[in-house]
Structure 1
Amino acid sequence: MSNQPIILEMKISLRDIHPRIERVFRVSDRITFRKLHEIIQIVMGWENYHLYEFRYGPYRIGIPDDEYFILDRTHLDARDTRIGKIGIEMDDAFTYQYDFGDDWQHTIEVQYSYRSFGGSVKPECINGKQACPPEDVGGSSGYSRYLIELADPNNENHTQSLGWRGLFEADEFNLTAVNERLKRLR
């Protein structure tokens, strides 16, 4: 039975944002960090335009390049490093940074860990709160400004912010739509 994958139930929260933006989702410990990145993009609502990096203990996991991220003992390639390989388990926490310019910092907590009993393990989002900030809004401080501008028709930047992304509902989260997108993920 030990050859069955471990299912990890994780909660991801976007740091420095109020009200809190978070999701709870399940994945297999056999997926790569590259696949975890793709799943996070869907559950959070990001558009996958930017670079990313995971950090867990001494490990940094991302896509190698010639300047910023050179592979060694603690810098691992996300394309072939599996979650289970570095020992992530229940009650562990690690970070996910998305968009090095806007510097979106996420905390990922492993809430539950249990063995799968048959069948393949498909990623699934269980719960969520709040909409994801728009891409390229300027990080957490830019997002706060953006929400203020949208909420106040008398703000000098209201029309510009409204025109940039249209109507934005910060308190919306559509669990069904997220799980439909996850089903299409290969």
Structure 2
Amino acid sequence: MAKTKKSENIAKQAVNPSSNALYVLEVFLIDGPITEKFAAENPVVSRTIEIKGSNTLENLHQIIFKAFDREDEHMYEFQVGGRRPQDPNARRYCLKQAFSSSDLTLALTGDVSSTSIASLGLSIDDAFGYWFDFGDDWWHQIDVINIQDLAQSGKYPKITQRVGASPPQYADFD
């Protein structure tokens, strides 16, 4: 048992959070307005994304939006450091200008447009949440699969793998 604990500790060590680092993230759809038929045909819906440490959470939102074939923009939030969706102890990042209430603004940790991926202090095997469309409540879990010290040249962020179909953004439950 101690051997397993030691392995977990080694795996959880943070990699240098350089803006040149490459983060490999697996984004799972964990909840949302999908039909039973869609869920049966697509038991797992995930996308693998490569993103540089210098990219922002706003860039991450944009590539997730594209990866899941969404059509209409809505509010969204990233929740980092929590144990579950809506964990009050998680650090919350969204577009600050979207909220007019000072109570909501005070609860935010940062603005997605200015928060880099590298600044989040992520480690391999960490997971964090992404909530899209505060009315339909599309919930995603983002797992940190790998962090490389240096991204190869190329355009980032990018989608490298798709598992399962993209659900329609507005399900027809008829």
Secondary structure of 2:104's aligned partner = coil
Verify: 1:109 aligned to 2:133, yes or no.
no
TM-score (structure 2 length as normaliser): 0.70
Q: Aligned AA for 2:165?
A: A
Once the two structures are TM-superposed, the CA of residue 4 in structure 1 deviates from its matched residue by 6.2
Aligned length: 138
* Aligned twin of 1:44: 68
Secondary structure of 2:105's aligned partner = coil
Once the two structures are TM-superposed, the CA of residue 60 in structure 1 deviates from its matched residue by 0.2
Select 2:52's aligned residue among 10, 28, 34: 28
* Aligned twin of 1:176: none
Distance 1:4 1:69, change over 3 A: closer
Once the two structures are TM-superposed, the CA of residue 29 in structure 1 deviates from its matched residue by 1.3
Once the two structures are TM-superposed, the CA of residue 46 in structure 1 deviates from its matched residue by 1.6
* Aligned twin of 1:13: 28
Once the two structures are TM-superposed, the CA of residue 48 in structure 1 deviates from its matched residue by 4.1
Select 1:69's aligned residue among 104, 111, 120: 104
5+ residue gaps, structure 2, are 1-15, 32-38, 82-89
Secondary structure of 1:69's aligned partner = helix
Higher relative contact order (CA 8 A, sep 6+): 2
Deviations 1:60-87 (A, max 9, x none): 0001111273046x52111101111121
Paired with 1:117 and 1:27, the residues of 2 have a C-alpha distance of: 9
* Aligned twin of 2:8: none
Query: Does the aligned pair in 1 maintain the 2:50–2:159 contact within 8 Å?
Result: yes
TM-score (structure 1 length as normaliser): 0.66
Paired-residue identity, %: 28
Query: Does the aligned pair in 2 maintain the 1:4–1:115 contact within 8 Å?
Result: no
5+ residue gaps, structure 1, are 147-156, 158-186
